[in-house]
Structure 1
């Protein structure tokens, strides 16, 4: 190619917009004050900056168009989604802000939302959540994985309650939980009922689920896309008597981080002495079963940042899924922010690869994400 042809090619290339400096990918985020206290976003900001990203905290008091554009919208909006679904006028300002955000996202489909709001709605009602778990690939046709039997109770009549429990094969002791898994002070307040007499203590409507003896160990499976980490935490001792009064507890306060297991290795790392949690030996989870659970739950709900609560049934050794939570604390997960940014980078690569077919013809994607018009390449 002579110098004249090269100059002409460069002019055409510049006209196509191929030479401008690529914009820095931007991550907008919104979380409640409570969530922000648990997550040091200053650390995440440094991780993003080192990775070539800009992290921006969204201010709902300003127009979103003035704060964008955003490549990623990262959020923990579950409580506000509940209020918006209920059209709660006591929180009309929050609900209106959520509507504004929904409108913005619909107008900017190129923005990747972590996680999609419609998919998060599948988690909000426990009855629906448990049904989706029970019918997911994690449980179907797998004799080692299940979710304990459950039923939604509405009646205040103990006899009617007993009939509903019998019909759903929910046996004592039972764990009674609020219908809403998010968005209220009662969401994490639970009660264990040991016998028919205890049914008088139940506040309906609620979801009742069979309690499974599990040797006082709860496994918190923290999922970041295709990666998962398991933290071993203390839980209730096995119950052998049904002649006990109801036990009220807060599911968020009953356990604390203790042991860490990272996939895909099989190495347990102790952060404190195991005897300070339980004198029982550590049960090593089968990573293949946990992988199946993670895959099945992710596919069913369409979410990438979730926490799965697992227990191992003492009598059978089966794995019981007892809860799925959106964007959990990730307490005890090493290098969480690095893994999160890696997931974000993967999503952006997937998005940009889809731009390789535009208007029915192929285009080339530079590593920076800039498109080259096929006419320029000819």
Structure 2
């Protein structure tokens, strides 16, 4: 009987010690990500596989009501947003001022920089990136604010070569802002609708590279694009041909039997240098680039578009890449201020 009492007493002591140890063990912090997205963006981004993986990693996505004060919601570790409008931008700026401990993806002023196709590509042009792995630039381009009738003369004075790709000057993420036109002759230029950007069309084998940048991670996929234009076709063609959102609507070219000179991905070291510079210059951590290789070259590339928080749902393994990115952000927050 006494032996049984001693055994029970020992068990109780061990249980008490275990409870004390368990009590003092730090609980894994839940990472709360508030998101302010359109319903369309929410549906394409917050897919069940992403939410399931996030839960397993201790990440919770919480919808933000943009019509209520942000400070009354949360608390959040990260705010993920892609809404537009001056009022929303001001709400975010005020929130960043009063909650510096919260990471906002991404600052509204930095995103606004990408809403204008002229300023969007200027940082790439200023970079003049060239090294042993290749050269990255932007097509020659011209901004037309108004007066379509003067476009032929302005284009001629600027020395731009036909055909020209016409894109809306404002890139606000809407379907209309991604509509392209290809103008083959001087007369057809008058049919375009300013404000717009005119870019020289660069033959690129009908393939473009979508380069997704999520923090430090870089993922590249191939997409079919506009076909090359030969001199013979140019001499016979006339008018303006309109296209929908080419890079998004086009089918993946990753599994296509492509000529290596067309389908070979841009060199990784070149992309890493480009991504690092753009992160610094743009102040963004979540964006993508549309890049083409000039046909007939191996190492001459052009950035033709930059988009904030693109359709990540079309990026292979985006769930793992994005959740790892969120956890990295929180870890960097903890280094600045203990969690």
Question: Structures share a fold, TM > 0.5?
Answer: yes
Q: TM-score, normalised by structure 2?
A: 0.82
2:152–2:190 contact (8 Å) kept in structure 1: no
1:220–1:307 contact (8 Å) kept in structure 2: yes
Q: Which residue of 2 aligns with 1:214?
A: 204
1:138–1:297 contact (8 Å) kept in structure 2: no
Match of 1:124 among 115, 118, 122: 115
Cα–Cα, structure 1 residues 116 and 61, in superposed 2: closer, same or farther, change >3 Å?
Answer: closer
Q: Over aligned residues, Cα RMSD in angstroms? A: 2.8
Secondary structure of the equivalent of 2:238? coil
Moved more, 114-123 or 181-190: 181-190
Cα–Cα, structure 1 residues 143 and 281, in superposed 2: closer, same or farther, change >3 Å?
Answer: closer
Q: TM-score, normalised by structure 1?
A: 0.74
Q: Give ranges in structure 2 of 5+ residues lacking alignment.
A: 1-23
Q: Which residue of 1 aligns with 2:169?
A: 179
Moved more, 289-298 or 197-206: 289-298
Superposed, 1:229-378 pairs within 5 Å as 229-240=219-230, 241-242=233-234, 243-252=237-246, 254-259=249-254, 270=255, 274-275=256-257, 282-317=263-298, 318-355=300-337, 365=338, 369=339
Superposed, 1:149-168 pairs within 5 Å as 149-156=140-147, 158=149, 160-168=150-158
Q: CA deviation at 1:119?
A: 1.0
Q: CA deviation at 1:161?
A: 2.3
Secondary structure of the equivalent of 1:187? helix
Q: May I ask how many residue pairs the two structures share in their alignment?
A: 310
Q: Give ranges in structure 1 of 5+ residues lacking alignment.
A: 1-17, 85-94, 260-269, 356-364, 370-378
Q: CA deviation at 1:331?
A: 4.2
Structure 2: distance between partners of 1:155 and 1:98: 28
Structure 2: distance between partners of 1:315 and 1:168: 25
2:128–2:136 contact (8 Å) kept in structure 1: no
Q: Which residue of 1 aligns with 2:56?
A: 50
Structure 2: distance between partners of 1:281 and 1:72: 40
Structure 2: distance between partners of 1:136 and 1:142: 15
Cα–Cα, structure 1 residues 290 and 74, in superposed 2: closer, same or farther, change >3 Å?
Answer: same
Q: Which residue of 1 aligns with 2:36?
A: 30
Q: Deviations over 1:305-362 (max 9, x none)?
A: 111001110143311110010111124433312211221222222222123xxxxxxx
Structure 1: distance between partners of 2:162 and 2:190: 14
Structure 2: distance between partners of 1:140 and 1:56: 44
Q: CA deviation at 1:62?
A: 3.8
Instruction: Judging by fraction of residues, say which structure has more helix.
Output: 2
Moved more, 19-28 or 130-139: 19-28
1:139–1:147 contact (8 Å) kept in structure 2: no
Moved more, 340-349 or 114-123: 340-349
Structure 1: distance between partners of 2:176 and 2:314: 26
Q: CA deviation at 1:176?
A: 0.8
Q: CA deviation at 1:22?
A: 7.2
Match of 2:214 among 207, 224, 237: 224
